C-alpha cells in the first residue's frame, strides 16, 4: 500500500446500460446524447466523494454492435464534461483525448479550458487509441512504437504549452492598465519529429492546481510511458497476480524516470455486476451478454489470440502450446496477454473459454456477486499492494450502479478505506489527499 486510502473514479460511459442494460424500463437511455445521464451519475458520485468521473472515448463507430446496443457512439467527452462542470463543484472530471489522431495545440487548449470551467478539476486520459485511422487519413493504424513516440512528444508539447502562459503572468491591474506581463508569456519553439509548434498558448494556466494525467495501455512501452508522465494508470488487471505484476512494473518504470512509485497510481477498471445475492448477480451478468452467440465469441478468440476453435472438440483443453506464437492483435497487447495467462493457468475447454467473462465482456477485473463480495475483494487487493484504487465500471443495469454508489462506497468508508468527505476542491487536491 503506497497510500492510506483508495483513489476511486467512476466511468460515465455508461457501461451499466451496455449489452442488454439499456432495454430495462427506466434505464434513462434516451438521455445518452444529452448531459442528463452523465450529469445524474456525476452528482451522485460527488455526493459519495469520489475522486473523479471519467469518460473514455473512441473516434470510430463499429457498426456490428450498433443494431443491438449503443456501442461507441457518444458525445465528445470533453464537451460533455464541460457541461457537467458548472453543475458540480468538487468532483474531478477526466476526459479522454487520443495522441494518435489530434494535434497537441488543440488538446492543450481544450484541456485547459475544461480546467478553468471546472475551477481546477480537469484530468486527461492520454490514449494512443485502438482504431479509427481511416477517419484521419491514415491507411493503417501506426505501429505501437510510432504511437508511443508520438504520444511522448504530444504530451511534452501539451505540457509546455500549458506552461507557456503561466498564471503569474496574468496581472489584471486595472489602475495601471496592465493586463498581463508579456515578458513571462513565452513561445515554446518546439521542432520535433511529429509536431512543429511555436506557442505560446492563447489561454493562461489555471492557478494553483495542475491537470493530472491518466494513461491507458499496458504493453511494456505503455507502462514505461506511464512511469514517465502519468499520475494515474487505467489498467486491465483481471486478477490480483496481474495487478501485483503491473504495480511492480509501474514502480520500476517510475523510478527509472526519477519519480516515486506512489506518484503513479494504479487504478484498474473494476467491472461490477452486483446483486442482493450471488445468484442474482450471475443471472444479471448472463442476461446482459446472452445475445453474443458462439460465432461472435469464437471471432473474439480469433481476433485476440489467433486461435480458430471452429473444429476444436469441446472436451479438449486449450493449452499454451496451442497458441500461435507470433499472433499479435493490432488492437491491444494487454488484453491479449490477460487471455494468454488464463489459458496458461486454467487450460480451459472451448465451452469454458467461451463462457469466460473476459471473452463475453471485458478483460477488466470483475466482481459478479454481492456488495460484501466486492468490499472483501477490493480490501484484499488494496492491502496486498496490488492497487491504489480503481475505476468503477458497473455493468448489467442501473441496479449495479445504485448498489455501487449507495451501498459499496459507504461500506468502503466504514472500513476506513475511503474518504468520508472532501478536503479539497481540485482533482490534484483529491489525488494528494
Ligand atoms: C484499460 C484501457 C483503457 C483504454 N481506453 C481507451 C480509450 O478510452 N480510448 C482509446 O482510444 N483507447 C483506449 N485504450 C487503448 C490504449 O490507449 C492503447 O492504444 C492500447 O491499449 C494499445 O496499447 P498497449 O499495447 O500499450 O496496451 C485503452 C486501453 C486500456 C488498456
Phi, psi of 407 (to 5 degrees): -120, -50
Of 58-62, 73-77, 155-159, 373-377, where does mean pLDDT reach its minimum?
58-62
| 111 pLDDT more than 90 | yes
Give burial (CB, 10 Å; 0-12/13-18/19+) of 174: exposed
Assess whether the C-beta atom of 11 lies below 6 angstroms from ligand 1.
no
Q: Which atom of ligand 1 is nearest to the CA of 334?
A: 27
Give the Å distance between the CA of 369 and the centre of ligand 1. Answer: 27
CA 244 to chain centroid: 19
Per-residue pLDDT reduced to its tens digit, 143-172: 999 999 999 999 999 999 999 999 999 999
What is the distance between the alpha carbons of residues 432 and 155, in angstroms, rounded to a whole number?
A: 22
Assess whether the C-beta atom of 222 lies below 6 angstroms from ligand 1.
yes
| 300 pLDDT more than 90 | no
Per-residue pLDDT reduced to its tens digit, 243-280: 999 999 999 999 999 999 999 999 999 999 999 999 99
Give burial (CB, 10 Å; 0-12/13-18/19+) of 176: exposed
Assess whether the C-beta atom of 204 lies below 6 angstroms from ligand 1.
no
Residue 78: which residues within 8 A CB-CB, separation 6 or more? 95, 97, 110, 111, 114
CA 225 to chain centroid: 15
Model confidence band, residue 333 (pLDDT cutoffs 50, 70, 90) = low
Residue 339 confidence (pLDDT): 82
Residue nearest to atom 12 of ligand 1 (CA): 129
Q: Which atom of ligand 1 is nearest to the CA of 96?
A: 8
Residue 332 confidence (pLDDT): 59
User: Which of 21, 45, 389 lies closest to 237, judged by CA?
Assistant: 389
88 is in an annotated binding site: no
Which of the two residues, 271 and 358, has the higher pLDDT score?
Answer: 271
Give, as one character, the DSSP assignment of residue 408: I
Q: Are 200 and 164 in contact (CB under 8 A)?
A: yes
Query: Largest Cα–Cα distance of the chain, in whole Å?
Result: 84
Give the Å distance between the CA of 219 and the centre of ligand 1. Answer: 10
Of 62-76, 213-227, 392-406, where does mean pLDDT reach its minimum?
62-76
What is the distance between the alpha carbons of residues 430 and 97, in angstroms, rounded to a whole number?
A: 22
Encode burial over 112-151: b for 16+ CB neighbours within 10 A, e otherwise.
Answer: bbbbbbbbbbbbbbbbbbbbbbeeeeeeebbebeebbbbb
Q: Per the structure block, which three cell numbers stand in for 99?
A: 495522441
Assess whether the C-beta atom of 268 lies below 6 angstroms from ligand 1.
no
Residue 4 confidence (pLDDT): 95
Q: Which atom of ligand 1 is nearest to the CA of 219?
A: 26
Q: Are 53 and 94 in contact (CB under 8 A)?
A: yes
Q: Are 11 and 393 in contact (CB under 8 A)?
A: yes
Assess whether the C-beta atom of 281 lies below 6 angstroms from ligand 1.
no
319 is in an annotated binding site: no
Of 55-69, 185-199, 204-218, 245-259, where does mean pLDDT reach its minimum?
55-69
Q: In Å, how far are 37, 293, 398, 405 from 41, measured between CA atoms?
A: 7, 32, 11, 9
Please choose from 128, 147, 229, 392 the residue to mutate so as to test ligand 1's pocket, defined by most ligand atoms within 8 A of CB.
128
Q: Which atom of ligand 1 is nearest to the CA of 268?
A: 1
What is the distance between the alpha carbons of residues 63 and 61, in angstroms, rounded to a whole number?
A: 6
What is the distance between the alpha carbons of residues 391 and 410, in angstroms, rounded to a whole number?
A: 16
What is the distance between the alpha carbons of residues 63 and 6, in angstroms, rounded to a whole number?
A: 38
3-class SS of residue 368: strand
Q: Which atom of ligand 1 is nearest to the CA of 333?
A: 25
Residue tagged 500549458 (cell numbers): 162
Give the Å distance between the CA of 236 and the centre of ligand 1. Answer: 9
Give the Å distance between the CA of 129 and the centre of ligand 1. Answer: 6
Model confidence band, residue 330 (pLDDT cutoffs 50, 70, 90) = low
Residue 335 confidence (pLDDT): 65
Per-residue pLDDT reduced to its tens digit, 112-141: 999 999 999 999 999 999 899 999 999 999
148 is in an annotated binding site: yes
Model confidence band, residue 338 (pLDDT cutoffs 50, 70, 90) = confident
Model confidence band, residue 421 (pLDDT cutoffs 50, 70, 90) = very high
Q: Are 127 and 218 in contact (CB under 8 A)?
A: no
Assess whether the C-beta atom of 249 lies below 6 angstroms from ligand 1.
no
What is the distance between the alpha carbons of residues 302 and 86, in angstroms, rounded to a whole number?
A: 46
Give the Å distance between the CA of 352 and the centre of ligand 1. Answer: 27
370 is in an annotated binding site: no
Q: Per the structure block, which three cell numbers stand in for 297?
A: 465469441
Q: Are 82 and 113 in contact (CB under 8 A)?
A: yes
**Considering the chain, what is the average pLDDT of its residues?**
94
Fold classified for 7-278+365-432: TIM Barrel (3.20.20)
Which of the two residues, 72 and 412, has the higher pLDDT score?
Answer: 412
Amino acid at each position: 500500500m503506497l497510500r492510506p486510502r483508495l483513489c476511486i473514479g467512476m466511468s460515465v460511459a455508461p457501461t451499466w446500460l451496455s449489452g442488454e442494460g439499456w432495454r430495462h424500463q427506466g434505464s434513462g437511455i434516451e438521455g445518452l446524447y444529452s448531459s442528463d445521464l452523465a450529469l445524474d451519475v456525476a452528482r451522485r458520485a460527488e455526493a459519495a466523494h469520489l475522486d473523479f468521473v471519467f469518460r473514455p472515448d473512441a473516434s470510430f463507430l463499429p457498426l456490428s454492435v450498433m443494431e443491438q446496443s449503443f456501442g461507441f457512439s457518444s458525445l465528445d467527452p470533453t464537451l460533455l464534461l464541460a457541461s457537467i462542470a458548472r453543475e458540480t463543484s468538487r468532483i474531478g472530471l477526466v476526459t479522454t483525448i487520443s495522441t494518435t489522431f489530434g494535434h497537441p495545440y488543440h488538446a492543450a487548449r481544450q484541456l485547459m479550458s475544461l480546467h478553468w470551467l471546472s475551477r481546477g478539476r480537469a484530468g486527461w486520459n492520454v490514449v494512443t487509441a485502438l482504431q479509427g485511422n481511416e477517419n484521419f487519413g491514415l491507411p493503417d493504424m501506426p505501429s505501437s512504437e510510432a504511437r508511443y513516440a508520438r504520444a511522448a512528444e504530444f504530451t511534452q508539447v501539451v505540457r509546455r504549452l500549458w506552461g507557456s502562459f503561466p498564471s503569474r503572468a496574468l496581472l489584471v491591474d486595472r489602475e495601471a492598465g496592465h493586463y498581463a506581463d508579456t515578458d513571462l508569456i513565452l513561445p515554446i519553439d518546439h521542432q520535433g519529429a511529429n509536431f512543429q509548434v511555436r506557442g505560446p498558448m492563447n489561454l493562461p494556466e489555471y492557478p494553483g492546481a495542475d491537470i493530472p494525467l491518466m494513461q491507458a495501455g499496458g504493453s511494456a512501452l505503455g507502462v514505461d510511458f506511464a512511469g514517465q508522465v502519468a499520475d494515474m494508470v487505467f489498467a486491465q488487471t483481471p486478477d490480483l497476480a496481474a495487478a501485483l505484476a503491473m504495480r511492480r512494473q509501474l514502480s520500476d518504470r517510475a523510478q527509472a524516470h526519477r519519480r516515486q512509485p506512489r506518484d503513479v497510481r494504479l487504478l484498474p477498471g473494476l467491472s461490477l455486476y452486483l446483486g442482493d445475492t450471488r445468484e442474482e448477480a450471475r443471472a444479471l451478468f448472463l442476461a446482459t451478454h446472452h445475445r453474443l452467440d458462439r460465432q461472435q465469441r469464437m471471432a473474439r478468440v480469433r481476433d485476440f489470440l489467433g486461435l480458430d476453435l471452429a473444429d476444436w472438440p469441446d472436451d479438449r483443453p486449450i493449452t499454451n502450446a496451442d497458441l500461435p506464437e507470433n499472433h499479435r492483435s493490432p488492437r491491444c497487447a494487454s488484453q491479449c496477454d490477460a487471455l494468454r495467462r488464463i489459458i496458461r493457468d486454467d487450460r480451459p475447454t472451448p465451452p469454458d473459454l467461451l463462457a469466460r467473462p473476459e471473452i463475453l465482456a471485458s478483460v477488466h477485473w470483475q466482481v459478479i456477486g454481492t456488495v460484501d463480495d466486492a468490499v472483501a475483494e477490493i480490501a484484499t487487493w488494496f492491502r496486498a499492494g496490488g492497487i491504489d484504487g480503481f475505476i468503477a465500471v458497473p455493468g448489467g443495469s442501473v441496479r449495479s450502479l445504485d448498489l455501487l454508489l449507495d451501498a459499496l462506497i459507504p461500506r468502503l468508508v466504514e472500513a476506513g478505506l475511503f474518504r468520508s468527505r472532501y478536503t479539497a476542491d481540485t482533482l490534484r487536491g483529491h489525488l494528494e489527499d
